[in-house]
Structure 1
Amino acid sequence: MADPGAAFVARDATAPPVPPGRLHRRELHVREVVREVAPGVRQRLWTFDGTVPGPVLRGRVGDTFEITLVNDGTLDHGIDFHAGAVAPDEVMRPIDPGQRLTYRFTATRAGIWMYHCSTMPMLHHIGNGMYGAVIVDPPDLPRVDREYVLVQSELYLGPDGEPGDLAAMQAERPDAVVFNGYPAQYAHRPLPARAGERVRVWLLDAGPNRDSSFHIVGAQFDTVYREGHWENRPTDPGGAQVLSLTPAGGGFVETVFPAAGHYPFVSHAMVDAERGARGLFEVR
């Protein structure tokens, strides 16, 4: 929980735009890398494309994704896209180091969907970094001034430079709970916004074990979209204070910051906020 220092660069939380076309082809490379996961703490992570979370993919209802998984690691790995309804037998099978697999699906339902390694024990593979998000825009999604993506997950640390501790994952004893892979990174590098702007925050709870209860201190949500369902709209008289998600659940919230200031955001499971599931919006 220390200050990561002046040279620290936070993960860019800006949501990617919807790419052109209706067919989205991409290679995802399994890479086993040693990364700093907290100040002075290194872990050997199993990743998609070398980052935790993996790349955020995006499309629209009716788009087709053709993802080629390339295993550049030393263990067998696979992939499971919740955004597609397909028989698991072939596309979710583990592949050995050096092998490739093409996974094709059509996005028929909107939401923010998890993808993750499909190799057993999935607890260990997800807990050691193999997860990411696919955003499938609802057909009537309005434009906003800013869009961010936050993926909540847990860290279960093994010895320095080694993979995460499976026994700690099984006992549900996280060392940290984080947004986008690093504890409290947006407390040190706040997310920018301006007063009066409409800000959308996409949330995915990658787990593998902890629920999320996303809250912005000093703000209210006039829009809540959870698991493919609109729960609040700006024209509704009611509002929301949290977006609650269970592992693999996703959605988004929108707010308009009323004035300049610093607005903390947390998982309101306060033990997890203190473990690192917190950040800051800097509103000018």
Structure 2
Amino acid sequence: MNKAIIAGLAAGVLIVGLVFSPLFNGNPLSAVDAQRSTGTTRQVTLIANENEVMVAPDNALHPGGLKYNAMTFNGTIPGPVVAVNQGDTVEITLKNEGKVIHSLDFHAGIGPSNALSGNVAAGEEKTWTLHAKTAGVFLYHCGADGLNGVWEHIANGMYGGIVVHPAKEKPAKEFYVVFGEIYNSEDGGLFTGDNSTDTAGSFDLGKFATDQPDLILTNGMAHKYVPSIGQAVKLELNKDAEVFKVKPGELTRWYIVNPGPNGYVAFHFIAGMMDVRDGSVRGNYGKPVTQDETWTIPPGSGTVIEATFPEAGLYVGVDHNMNHVVRGAAFAVLATEDATEDDHPEGTWVPSRSHLIEGGSMTTGAYAGTVPEGTPGGNATSTGPASSTGQNTTSSGGGNSTRTNSTTTG
């Protein structure tokens, strides 16, 4: 081939590579935007503990309900949502009030010093720093003893979500929903009638290893937000269920987190469509997959879902794996003009970007998170809507304290 032609082709390839490389190597503009600091340092405390929780209500599927010896952050499955703005610095304190070693893995962090707490022995605490560079929703979970037993600590409920709001985020009514599996030694199975015992179950390694979850929890309980199903034949699932309320036509944003530890979530809104906002680009969520029906969320991941429910009536969010639905992976959404800004089911409210800028709390409960004096945003003391506080947060105890890799910005 003529040398001139070869040289021309090579130059063309080089030019194309320079022009399109941002598309394939992560837009460098997004990296610059993501690294830009807001100058705000936020502080949050998570309490690690072991405690008994109710994971299934009393219904025909599980007569008497089911108790479980869980591992928790701040007393609940899941742990509280932690909300920050892109570019914030976050000082995270992990206090271990339990009896075994716990730790933290923040999937929003990049690099071990940003993402991992290291072991925190019983009675001790550690503080380290996370730089919130990438917008989205990300899993955090216990890493057990340097990953030894991490599968058990996750399956026992030690997980939650961190929301990093982008600079160009549109206002929306926002909700926090976390799915999770339980492998329960005391679960006799569906419709068995032998679950009324007061004995709380614990992690069953055999069920875990063979991928046989007993329940798929929705924010800590099977069918937590589903009163009943059926018309001709009605099956009551949870007589105390709260449902999510939205106004017809309003933009809603759902931070869906799947800690697993094993299974995928095939997320779907019955009677609805959704825009998927995975990834982060130039101060906003990534280019959306629009008007999708079902989106797969792998274990260890979170996805930002936006949806508008066009007419009044009942919609249902589900993991469209029907095996998972019968085990608890569903929640009811009622589109009604009676919906208000602060009628979220307990624990599902997410502090918005504007709420954080105004100095509001970054999470809920007694350890709601603060902005230290002297940094932009002032001192955060509010805890959001009253219906969304009550996280059963345990009080902090004494013990040894270790501070690791902690910095502030001014």
Distance in 2 separating the partners of 1:93 and 1:210: 26
Corresponding residue number in structure 2 for 1:232 = 288
Contiguous gaps of at least 5 residues in structure 1: 1-19
2:266 to 200, 204, 213: 213
Distance in 1 separating the partners of 2:268 and 2:184: 26
Corresponding residue number in structure 2 for 1:275 = 327
1:125 to 2:158 alignment: no
1:152 to 2:204 alignment: no
Distance in 2 separating the partners of 1:165 and 1:60: 39
Distance in 1 separating the partners of 2:314 and 2:165: 29
String of CA shifts for 1:58-84, please: whole Å, max 9, x gaps.
111111111111110011111111111
Contiguous gaps of at least 5 residues in structure 2: 1-37, 58-64, 187-198, 228-241, 337-410
Task: Please give the TM-score of this superposition, normalised by the length of structure 1.
Answer: 0.86
- Aligned-residue sequence identity (percent) comes to 31
Task: Please tell me the residue identity of whatever aligns with 1:138.
Answer: P
1:161 to 200, 214, 218: 200
Distance in 1 separating the partners of 2:88 and 2:325: 36
Identify the structure with the greater strand proportion.
1
Corresponding residue number in structure 2 for 1:241 = 293
Distance in 2 separating the partners of 1:170 and 1:94: 25
* 2:56–2:223 CA contact under 8 A, matched in 1: no
Report the alpha carbon displacement of residue 195 of structure 1 after superposing the two structures with TM: 1.1
| Closer, same or farther: CA 247–152 of 1 in aligned 2, 3 Å | same
Corresponding residue number in structure 1 for 2:221 = 182
After TM superposition, list the pairs within 5 Å mapping 1:1-284 onto structure 2.
22-39=40-57, 40-87=65-112, 91-119=116-144, 120-144=148-172, 146-159=173-186, 160-188=199-227, 189-221=242-274, 223-228=275-280, 230-232=286-288, 239-284=291-336
Report the alpha carbon displacement of residue 231 of structure 1 after superposing the two structures with TM: 4.2
Residues 191-200 or 154-163, more deviating? 154-163
Distance in 2 separating the partners of 1:249 and 1:48: 18
Report the alpha carbon displacement of residue 89 of structure 1 after superposing the two structures with TM: 11
Task: Please give the TM-score of this superposition, normalised by the length of structure 2.
Answer: 0.60
Size of the aligned set, in residue pairs, is 259
Report the alpha carbon displacement of residue 178 of structure 1 after superposing the two structures with TM: 2.0
Report the alpha carbon displacement of residue 22 of structure 1 after superposing the two structures with TM: 1.9
Identify the structure with the greater helix proportion.
2
Work out which structure has the larger RCO, using CA pairs closer than 8 Å and 6 or more positions apart in sequence.
2
Task: Please tell me the residue identity of whatever aligns with 1:176.
Answer: L
